[in-house]
Structure 1
Amino acid sequence: MSTKEILPFLTWAGGKRWLVNNHSEIFPLKFNVYIEPFLGSGSVFFHLKPQKAVLSDINGDLINTYLALKMDWQNVYKHLKVHQRKHSSDYYYKIRGSNPRKLETRAAKFLYLNRTCFNGIYRVNKQGKFNVPIGSKQNVILDTDDFEEISSRLKNVLILNDDYESVINRANRDDFIFVDPPYTVNHNENGFIQYNEKLFSWADQIRLCEALVRARNRGAQIMVTNANHESVRNLYKEHGFEYQIVSRFSGISSKAKGRKKYEEIIVKSNF
């Protein structure tokens, strides 16, 4: 496999580009299959360049985009160039409201909206329709795009649109599970976390932790990123996990005072 550095092709709230840039030493040096049940932008996958991997996310639009790039990146890129040429406010809302049928046109729509919407946020309304307004960025095609290499990296990867527990249940001895769930805590104190709670409840956090305990007992290597909150720390401590605290910069807020350093925990086991 090529050792070329590939940057994630998506902007993703909670993405782990900062983690691989600042803490690359925390990842295991050897493992069998790489497993990621909350894929998002795939920063850790692209950084580690695993030979074998299982990638999954419950977001069907996201997974369709990975599948389209794996199978037919040229057609995705062709449609993306059309979006670049036609991009305007009217065009953005026209595409946002469209419902393309082919996998490659759905993927190009997803990429176009991700790159031109406000702060790269993914949010849907109660009807499941993407509803983020247009942002200030104009570039639909990026200098860092290397869809051919991305397609190559995904060639031998199993890509799923599945529940995180069933994905974690695939892990065996010496596999490496990297888990970056939506951040929710037992006592909400943060607006972004409150939005996540609609998608990922505290009961989900418990179910996730219990699935990871079973994987740990099977001999899998585990790393979890999560909010540095007492309820999260206690959940993993009670199940015998160790953790460390790291800081990151959050650029999600539209107000400057909301963009500040946040602490997260890194939970590790079996390496």
Structure 2
Amino acid sequence: MTTALVTEPDSAAPPLPRPFLKWAGGKGQLLRQFQPLLPASYGRYFEPFVGGAALFFSLQPARATLTDVNSELVDCYRAVRDSVEEVIAALSHHTYDEAHYYRVRDLDPASLSLPARAARTIFLNKTGFNGLYRVNSAGRFNVPFGRYVNPSICNRPQLRACSAALQSVELAVRDFERVIDHAEAGDFVYLDPPYSPVSSTANFTSYSAGGFSFRDQERLAALFAALDKKGVLVMLSNSDVPEIPPLYSKFRVDRVAALRSINAKSDARGRVGEIVIRNYTTRRSRKAAPADKAG
């Protein structure tokens, strides 16, 4: 299969930024349900599992730090922030073709320039199976070729809008626990970890070579409690499975519904439950405080 590169036309009015990567468990479809759950106001915004950054792009906070343990993902954001035109140019060399996909997948990201590395990440994300990001035990991306009809590989206006939104953002490769060293009282931390699987066939959480175990879920719960003690506003998403709510018994748990299509069994795909855990209860505004926008 060979299909010419598909791009989105430039439009007169710049679009609002939205995720330029598809991400398993992405929060784009839940933003409306999140609105009444967001804090009234906050200082800085932190997202230690950046993923597709749907909530960040929706809020567009004046001061934000986006981090992840996945260095390839963080490098992609850095390239879009700092060199978006070079990323767009590099994407122009990619075509939706199975043989080309596997050649690009086999490339060593370290051998590429930062914009070319980001273009590789975006291309594989847009053309791989279900938009998954999965690595093997050696840390090598191993998602198979996906079957699509005219996939949009390079949305130029959207990439530029995302670049503009990322200009003042700090990006770093960090383990999620390190947010405790940076967030202060009044800041807002949104935690969106790889989910605890809802079934034996639904564990698509190997976004790093070590995966994300239940021990990591316990570490995350301890971090949540430590941030709460520090006076940080914290919101966490996870799958609605029996083992997760007991880890957060002292905090508020709300349930939301999401349509998830990533499951090895097609008859197991559909609307599934998710939980949102918070250490605050009052919602008066979805935006960052006006003082933050001025500062």
TM-score (norm 2): 0.83
Distance 1:102 1:144, change over 3 A: closer
Q: Tell me which residue corresponds to 2:105.
A: 96
**Mapped contact 1:37–1:164 kept (Cα < 8 A):** yes
Pick aligned residue for 2:248 from 236, 245, 255 = 236
Counterpart CA distance in 2 for 1:245 and 1:51 is 29
The residue type paired with residue 223 of structure 2 is: A
Question: Shift of the alpha carbon at 1:230?
Answer: 2.1
Counterpart CA distance in 1 for 2:252 and 2:200 is 25
The residue type paired with residue 264 of structure 1 is: E
The residue type paired with residue 14 of structure 1 is: G
Of stretches 194-203 and 153-162 in structure 1, the one that deviates more from structure 2 is 194-203
Question: Shift of the alpha carbon at 1:22?
Answer: 3.7
Pick aligned residue for 2:182 from 170, 180, 190 = 170
Q: Percent identity?
A: 32
Cα deviation per residue 1:11-63 (whole Å; 9 max; x = unaligned)?
A: 00011111114432221231110000000000000011100001001111111
Counterpart CA distance in 2 for 1:153 and 1:194 is 29
- Pairwise CA RMSD of aligned residues? 2.2
**Mapped contact 1:15–1:41 kept (Cα < 8 A):** yes
Q: Tell me which residue corresponds to 2:261.
A: 251
Q: Size of the alignment, in residue pairs?
A: 264
1:156-195 → structure 2 map (5 Å cutoff): 156-184=168-196, 189-193=199-203
Distance 1:250 1:194, change over 3 A: closer
Q: Tell me which residue corresponds to 2:279.
A: 269
Pick aligned residue for 2:123 from 97, 109, 112 = 112
- Say if 2:23 is the partner of 1:12: yes
Q: Tell me which residue corresponds to 1:146.
A: 158
**Mapped contact 2:39–2:280 kept (Cα < 8 A):** no
Of stretches 257-266 and 190-199 in structure 1, the one that deviates more from structure 2 is 190-199
Counterpart CA distance in 1 for 2:104 and 2:196 is 32
Question: Shift of the alpha carbon at 1:227?
Answer: 1.6
Counterpart CA distance in 2 for 1:144 and 1:27 is 31
**Mapped contact 2:202–2:264 kept (Cα < 8 A):** no
Question: Shift of the alpha carbon at 1:144?
Answer: 7.5
Q: Tell me which residue corresponds to 2:91.
A: 80
Higher relative contact order (CA 8 A, sep 6+): 2
Counterpart CA distance in 2 for 1:117 and 1:53 is 30
Question: Shift of the alpha carbon at 1:4?
Answer: 5.6
Counterpart CA distance in 1 for 2:259 and 2:152 is 25
Structure 1, gaps ≥5 residues long: none
Question: Shift of the alpha carbon at 1:236?
Answer: 0.3
**Mapped contact 1:183–1:196 kept (Cα < 8 A):** no
Q: Is the helix fraction higher in 1 or 2?
A: 1
Question: Shift of the alpha carbon at 1:6?
Answer: 1.6
The residue type paired with residue 54 of structure 1 is: T
TM-score (norm 1): 0.90
The residue type paired with residue 201 of structure 2 is: G
